[in-house]
Structures are given as C-alpha cells and as structure tokens.
Structure 1
Amino acid sequence: MNIFSGKALGLTMVLVLSLGVVAGCGGTGQNGNKAAQTGEAAKKLSVQFMVPSYADVPDMNDEYWTEFQKSSQTELDVEWVPSGDYNTKFDLVLASGNIPEVIVATSTTRPTLQNAINQGAFWDLTPFLDDFSKYPNLKNNSYEEIWNYMKTGGGIFGIPRNRPQIDISIKMRKDWLDKFKLPVPTTLEEYETALKTIVNGDPDGNGKKDTVGLIGQGFLLADGDGSFLSAFGGLDPVYDQEGGLINKLLTPNYTDMVGYFRQLYADGILAKDFSAIKQTQAEEMYTTGRAASYARNIWRDYTFEQEVKKVQPQAEIISLPPMKGPGGTSVQLSTPFSGAFYISKKVPEEKVKQILDFFEKTTTMEQTDYNYYGIEGVDYTMVDGQQQLTELGTRQVTANGTGAIFPLAYNNKMKVVNPAAPKAYNDAKMKSVEEYANVGKIDPFSIINSDTWTSVWTKYESEWQSMVIKAIVGQVSMEEYKAYVDKLNGSPDFKKSYQEFAAEYKEKFGK
C-alpha cells in the first residue's frame, strides 16, 4: 500500500471492513463471529484503559464514540490522563499494583515499565501472537521491524501504537526568503546565512530589527533537536573503543551540534532565551509573525500559516527540504510507534484473546481514517474528493486525540495532512516531504534501554544541560565542554551503560 494512500470510508463501510463483532460468547474473535452466525446474542467487550490525553478529554457519549462502541460491540471505560501528568500517574499506578486491564506506556524503555514487566505485571503476548496467522492486521499494517522493538528479554509484551515516521520538520517563512531574494536552504550553511540575513533585515516591515531567527521550546529546541542532530550524524550508532554504544547526548556529533548552535547564538539567530521558552510561548511567537524558523509537526504548517496571515497577509510557511550537514541530513524520522499497550496479568487468558482481537480489528487503514476524520455527514463532508472536517468534527476528532486507544495502521500521512486544509494544499505538502522517508534517521535511543544509564544519568542530567546551555551562550569554551563530556564518557558506570546499549541495539536492530 502506498504510504500516502487511503481514503476514509463512511462509518458503515469502516465497521463492516475493520471492526465487525469484536467479542462473542466463546471468548476469541473467531468464536464470537461463529456465535453471531448461529444466532447467539453477541456480548459486549468491556475494557478498562488508562491512556494519555494530549488535548481536551473526549466525551465518550458523543456521536463519534457512541457509534464506534455500538457498532464494535464494546464498552470502553477510559481514564484519560493529561499528558503532562501521565508519566507520574503511570509510575504511581504501577507501584500500587492496581493496574487497569490495558495501560499505555508512552515510552517502552521507561524504567518503571521494564521493572513491572520483569516482575510479571503484564502478559507475555508471544504465545498468543505466535506467527501472527491469527493477527494479519497487526503484522501487515504495522512497521515491519516494530515487533523486534517491542521485545523485553526475548518476549513481546506490548502492542505498538503505530504512528507515522514522517512528522517533524524545520519550518521557514518562505515569503521572507523571497523578500530578501534568498533560495530555499538545502544545507545548514545556507540555512544559517538565510536566517542571519532575515534577523538583520526588517522582514515584517515594522521598522525594527526585532525578528527572531530560530525558536524552540524547553531544553534547546525540543522537537527540533533530532533534526539538527541527524544533520551531524548523531542518530547513527557511535561506539567507544570497547565497542560500547555511546548515548547520543555524549557523542562527538552532539558536541558538534552544540558548537553550531553556539555560532547561531553569537550571530543573533537563535532566540536569546531559547532554553526557557515554553511550547505555548513558542507557538504564540511563531503565529504572530515574530520568528522565521521553528520545528514542529508538518501538519501544523497550514494551521500556523492561517494564524500568521491574520497579522501578515502575505505569510507563507514551508517545511524545508532535507538539508545537508557535516554528517547527514536534517530529518529525524519519528519512532514508528507512540509507546505501546500493555495488558495486565490480572486479565483472564480468554479476555486477553478478546482484547487482542479488538486490537487486530482496529489496526487497519479504514480505522485509521475513521480515527482521523470520524463519521461522514457528521464529522466531515467530502469536498473536491477530500474529507473536510465540520465544526463538530473539529471538536470531536481533531481536538480530542481520538487515536489514543487504537493501534491504528502504520502510514506516513497522519502527521502531514491537515484535515482543515484544501486537498490541493495537502497533496502538495505530501509530495514536498516524500524524500524525508528516504534520508531520515530514527533515534535508536527511543527504542533501546540501559538500566545502568537510567540509574546514573539522573545524577548528571541537570548538570549536563547546564553545561550545554553555557557552551551555547559562551559562558564556557567548547574545549571546556568537550573535557566535561570526555570525563563522563570515561566513567565506569557510563562505559557499562554503553555496553548495555550495544547489546540492546544488536537485539532490536539486528546489527
């Protein structure tokens, strides 16, 4: 299947093709279908979930959820936890032992999760999944290597929440490039030159040189760190002399990136308070036309552009093409899953099969499109061959993170297409970022784990972050920063963690 294909079907077609009767009297999906065929009344599958909420908490009684639960014969008891509080709540729930039937771990390498798995808190799903002959959707509609990524100690404990790899882009104000007759940057050097010209000019015509070149959110650029690190080769494995896999944060490549940001800061390109800007502040700066470049999800290009046009009508925002750097290109591919579902060991074996059947029947492109657009005639209408969200759909679907409880099918359109944008815009946007899939790199440290690193890094993380910021703003020299990194890398604990990373990398990536 083309990763950019997939037309949303009407609700009836979605349910016929992908959902059916999830659970029946006999326990498994197959037995349930057999029961339905023989005229036995189907029983609803009632499942407890705890999931993160990245937007407004959904109303489980609205049209979207009511229709889904009715047609799928499910009763979903979902605890939606605000994303900012989720990891804390997750850890507390695991410590209490009062684990819901299905819980989402936002990171498969989280130490508390790994400890809980080792203590037998969750089902090893390997015997259930077997050769995936009973679960073709979970196999064929997931990223091809994803089941290796789900392993802990050789067993598969998680069901991945499939998500697209093409996601984050470095954005640029194309109208400002045009104003100064600058080409679209294709290298980091051209990018730096363009931003320097913009901040030293008056792109918004307000008579002041107050435009910021590059903004981020949180430590460094947050969403954009991986894109720049990829350009320095920092998402490729880097080994020490003993064959240990050095954590990406302490590689020479990361140090080179720090040096690059140091130059951007000295040239007045990087926001002066880059390390303290919060997400809401960054969005406000960008959507009011006060910054030239910002790294976030590609689908936001249209939304950001529409907001900027309210104050600067000629605004045009583009996702930059892959830019060449000293060691790679400026594209980080997202991990092809956003955490995973784990089934509590307290769930009876037969119900485990029912839950797996639920996941099997919602891991389809039809369900993914339903998740993205909702019900035709209610949440969206067809306009020029494309789904156009209604005002209700915007509230029920886009604003409520409806995909939290579904594995969904792996595809690369979800973080590119903006449901509110015209079809021509979305088509052009998808084409403009197709190359990302060919040149981008995955961050292996979002997949591999080291218990030693987890226990040791907490002692140094704040100190290291402080050193990075000091190096960028010029409070310490790059030589001092390099010496600090070398000291950490020479520690026996760090060397031990690198050996553990190397073993995990070999198991999950096969090299």
Structure 2
Amino acid sequence: MNRKKKTLQLTAVSAALLSIVAAGCSNNSNPSGASSSPAQTGTASVKPEAAEVKYPASLTYWVQLNANAAAIMKTYNEMAAYKEIEKKTGTKVEFQHPPAGQEKDQFNIMMASGNLPDVIEYNFGTTVGLSAAQSPDALIKGKQILRLNELIDRHAPNLSKVLKEHPEFRKMITTDEGNIYVMPFLLGDEQLSVVYGPVFRKDWLDKLNLKVPTTIPEWETVLTAFRDKDPNGNGKPDEIPFFMSLTADFDVNHLLVGAWGITTDFYNDKGKIKYGPIQPEFKEFLATLARWYKNGLIDKDYATITDSKLKDNKIINNQVGAYSGFAGAGLGRYLTLVQPTNPSFSLVGAPYPTVKEGGPKPLGQYTMPFTGYGAAISAKAKNPEQIIKWLDYKYGQEGHMLINFGIEGESYKMENGYPKYTDLIMNNPDKLPISQAMAKYFQSGWSGPYVQDKRVIEQYYTIPAQREAQKTWAQADHAKQMPSIALNADESAKSTSIMNDVKTYRDEMFNKFVMGAEPIENFDKFVQTMKSMGIEEAIKVRQAALDRYLNRK
C-alpha cells in the first residue's frame, strides 16, 4: 500500500487516543492516582493577591467542537456543566468553534492574523505537527500566548495543588525553556492511559478448543486454525484470521512489533533514543509478518484498506478472527451490534504477545498523562489573572465533579461516595448513545483543561469484556514510551527533511518485505539506505531533546 497517507491517519489516531472515553467510543484519553487527586482537590495556600482576583465578566474561547457534542448542540454553552459553571462564576463565555475538519487551518490563520480570542484550547504538542515557529516557547516569545507559571502560582490554587501532588505532571507541562503554556488536560489515573489492544473471537477459540494466545508462536497456531478449521461454520474458506491495520496496529500501539521490545518509530530505551526499523529485531518482526501473509493468515487486502467501514463489515459479517481496537468502539460496539442477531458472537481482549513464553514483557499502547493539549491564554487578553482563576475552577472539587459527571441528581447520583451515572446517561430516554448523552451534560468524554477522572471510564465500559480487556492490555510494558519532547528550530529543520524521506521509504519497504516483493535477506541494505538518508542525525537531535526533557525541573 502506498502509505503516504499514513501521516494523516496517524495524527487522527493519536488525537483519538487523547481522550480515553471518546476512544472508548470510537478517543485523549488516558491517565496517576486519579480520582483521589483531582476529585479531592481543595484550596491550597496562595499569595494574598489571589484572594482579590474575581472571575471575568466575560471571555472569548476558541475550541474545536467535539463530534459527540456537535451531534446535539451548536456550542458548548448548551452543555449542562458549562451552564452551571456560568452560574457559579458569573462568567459568560463566547465559544468560537472552527468548522469540523478545518481546525488546524483555522488555528494557523488565527495565529497568523493576530486577531486572537482570550483563550485558545488546542493540542500544542508535537503529535499535531506544529512547526518550530508554532512551538509553545516560540508563541510565548512572539507575544501570542502567555507564560502561565506565575499566573498559576498566584491565581490557580487548585491546579497548583494537583501539580504539587504529582510533580511528574509539572515536568510534562513545562517546556525545555521552563515555560508552562496551557492549563493542561491531564489523565488522572494509569487506567485512563490504556484503551486499545488485540481482540480475538472468543467463540471461535472455544469452538476450536484453543486458548487466548500469549506468544507469537501461539498467535501463529491460532491464526492457522482460524484459516483451516472453518470457525464461522459456513463451509467456505472465507475467514480472515488477522485483520491487520497498519497505522493503528504498529505505529501507535506497538502490536506484535512490541514483542521484540522495539517500535516502528523512535523509542526511549532507558534514556537512550533508538529507531526501531534499524534494529536487528525489526528483521525478525518483518520475517514473521511475511510468513503470515504468504500463508494467508493476514487479510490479503490489508495494504489498501483505509475505510473503517470495510473493517466493520468484515467483523460484523463473521469473517475476522483477530484484530486490534478500542475497548469501546472496537469491542463493546461490535458486541452490541452483532449479538442481537448472532448470540454466540463473543470477543475477548488478548494480551500483547511476547516473542516466546517467559520472554520479556512486550510493549503496548499507552498514552502519556499529558500530550500537549490544553487551554492557552492569549497575550491579547486584558484580564489574564481573572481568566486563569476561571480556568482553575475545573481543577477544584466542585468544577472537577461538574466537568466529569455533570449535575448531581440529574446526570449522576452519589452512592456510597461514588458518582454513579443515572439513566439519563446510561439508558437515555431520548435514545441518545452514551457518548452523546455524556456530551449533553459534561465534557469528560474528550480532552479539555481539567483532570479526567477514572470513574468516568469505569462506567463507560458497561460490558465486562471491555473492563477485562483493559486490565489485560495494561499488563504490557510502557517504559519505552516516548515523552512529549520538543525539538528546537534548528533540530526541527534538520529532522523534518530527513524523516519525510525516511518514513516514505520505510513505509514502501514495509509492504515490499511483508508481501514478498523484497526478500528479507535485503534487510541490511534497507538499514544502510536509511542511514544514508540521515536517520542517525534524526536520532541525535531527539537524543538532545530527550536529555533536555529529563533534566526539566
């Protein structure tokens, strides 16, 4: 497949991973002692000036309108949580939502024009492809957004308390130059960081008396049985043992390749940057996929399938034995869609496989607690002290409960100290899907300037198989996950030109190796070609960026 489209697909997947619950439905989500920290946040001691600051009478706020919200409202002003926040703070917010699909272009136009709102909520991290000139430090130097360190210390007691309790969060939200640039979206628990993984047809496994595979050899045994033993029972050899999705499976989630302790991109090996495709283990990974493809264990059309509806059709039509997906959209949704007409249809989350039994833990999908998403304050804002206080409201106890659970007595009720969603959310009388019912009342189904509470996803996963899958996937190794490092202007210029060529070449050769058009014996030549393209220089600049990140205070 020509995977030049892959960069855009990867951005979409990364963005989806930013909201766990949305991920469960389709999305940031993801991640440290969550409910206890944000949900119990109280008032910290601050300088006397903070007590004198009042909430702003009004403010302008630029932010993408989440798709689930867009299905039922035109602006976040219609959300119950924001209506209540307006009552509590007295602040009237004029939300400005860019047209769907045009967020990046509109962001660029807005920043270039200098006609800025008071608050800009966006993903300022590297995953959205911001140029060095658009980096948070550059935007602060260019007097487009404000450095927030002192404003947070003096006027944001709730976020200050969270950062004090979680010093790792402060490191993540601070740039190499020491700037805090957003009121951040933070995943409040490790449980929120893992939402994606391998899924198998449990009824097929049971029918063939097979166990859920845990190693690469066991995967091969199970997939071979799916191919040969007619588990769908229609008498036709039409089963697709493994539906392989290039971007999601490998680049984002490290499926299979993580068994060898590497990734298909850069990773952090105990403080040392490495690039997976030039490692010797990558050859073994490619050889395994090539053998599977040759033997009919992988969907023969994997390289040309980019439409998620095609995947849906093959799974729903009883053809696919294994794939990877979200616990929500990739497991719970299929169970809900198929079981009414095929009651025996069942799915199980499988562990990320090891190379062999007793081998090292494999790598798996993991989203860092902070990925660059949050609310920046424009340098044009006339009352930043009041705005920061308004934004800080959602990091306190009252605001945290509103943004994560909505209105007590309506969208949730407290049961033994646990905020349990009511039927307005879980069994909406207007037949709204859970994700849209949530959006009607609160924001915790997607990213925003607040701490996401793990009790959201605990309830969003209504099916036991979803909860069990999440626990299974969480057992993978996440130590090699790359933090949100930042390249400076010179590093970015060097790296961009190199990686554009390297990624294009990597993607083309990946398919040639897997499909047998290129013999695996040419792997060393493949590595040497990438080195001639400058991959070692790209590693070098990322090493410098990682060193700076690790030295942040």
TM-score interval for Structure 1 and Structure 2 normalised by the shorter chain:
0.7 to 0.9
Q: 2:288 aligns with which of 223, 243, 260?
A: 260
2:78 is matched with 62
Other structure's SS at 1:181 match: coil
Deviation at 1:123, TM superposition (A): 1.8
Measure, in 2, the Cα distance between the counterparts of 1:254 and 1:105: 35
Other structure's SS at 2:302 match: coil
- 8 Å Cα contact 1:262/1:474 also seen in 2: yes
Deviation at 1:145, TM superposition (A): 4.3
- 8 Å Cα contact 1:333/1:441 also seen in 2: no
Q: What do you get for the CA RMSD once the two structures are aligned?
A: 4.1
* TM alignment of 1:177-256, pairs within 5 A: 177-217=205-245, 219=247, 221=249, 225-234=253-262, 236-237=267-268, 245-256=273-284
Instruction: Assess, with a 3 A threshold, how the Cα gap between structure 1 residues 29 and 183 changes in structure 2: closer, same or farther.
Output: farther
**Number of aligned residue pairs:** 481
Q: 1:471 aligns with which of 502, 513, 528?
A: 513
TM-score by length of 1: 0.79
Measure, in 2, the Cα distance between the counterparts of 1:327 and 1:420: 29
* TM alignment of 1:18-97, pairs within 5 A: 30-32=51-53, 43-51=56-64, 53-57=66-70, 58-59=73-74, 60-62=76-78, 64=80, 65-81=82-98, 84-97=101-114
Other structure's SS at 2:530 match: helix
Q: 1:332 aligns with which of 342, 365, 380?
A: 365
Deviation at 1:182, TM superposition (A): 0.7
Q: Which amino acid aligns with 2:93?
A: L
- 8 Å Cα contact 1:171/1:320 also seen in 2: yes
Instruction: Assess, with a 3 A threshold, how the Cα gap between structure 1 residues 156 and 179 changes in structure 2: closer, same or farther.
Output: same
Q: Which amino acid aligns with 2:107?
A: F
2:130 is matched with 112
Q: Which amino acid aligns with 1:173?
A: R
Measure, in 1, the Cα distance between the counterparts of 2:397 and 2:377: 27
1:38 is matched with none
Measure, in 2, the Cα distance between the counterparts of 1:88 and 1:149: 25
- 8 Å Cα contact 2:223/2:297 also seen in 1: yes
Other structure's SS at 1:439 match: coil
Deviation at 1:309, TM superposition (A): 0.9
2:421 is matched with 387
2:160 is matched with 136
Deviation at 1:364, TM superposition (A): 5.5
Measure, in 2, the Cα distance between the counterparts of 1:377 and 1:56: 21
1:408 is matched with 450
Deviation at 1:139, TM superposition (A): 0.9
Deviation at 1:223, TM superposition (A): 7.2
Q: Which amino acid aligns with 1:283?
A: D
Deviation at 1:285, TM superposition (A): 2.9
- 8 Å Cα contact 2:215/2:354 also seen in 1: yes
1:313 is matched with 343
Q: Which amino acid aligns with 1:268?
A: G
Tell me which stretches of 4 or more aligned residues in structure 1 moved more than 6 Å: 17-20, 381-385
1:502 is matched with 543
More helix as a share of residues: 2
Instruction: Assess, with a 3 A threshold, how the Cα gap between structure 1 residues 3 and 208 changes in structure 2: closer, same or farther.
Output: farther
- 8 Å Cα contact 1:213/1:291 also seen in 2: yes
Q: Deviations over 1:216-245 (max 9, x none)?
A: 446473676423333221255359xxx973
Q: Which amino acid aligns with 1:46?
A: L
Deviation at 1:487, TM superposition (A): 1.9
Q: Which runs of 5+ in 2 are unaligned?
A: 1-30
Say which structure, 1 or 2, has more relative contact order (CA 8 Å, 6+ apart).
2
Measure, in 2, the Cα distance between the counterparts of 1:314 and 1:399: 34
Measure, in 2, the Cα distance between the counterparts of 1:507 and 1:124: 19
Q: 1:101 aligns with which of 109, 118, 128?
A: 118
Q: Deviations over 1:96-130 (max 9, x none)?
A: 44444333443512553531332523222233345
Percent identical among aligned pairs is 17
Measure, in 2, the Cα distance between the counterparts of 1:261 and 1:474: 10
TM-score by length of 2: 0.73
Q: Deviations over 1:246-295 (max 9, x none)?
A: 33454444444333322332232222222332233323433443312222
Q: 2:478 aligns with which of 440, 443, 467?
A: 440
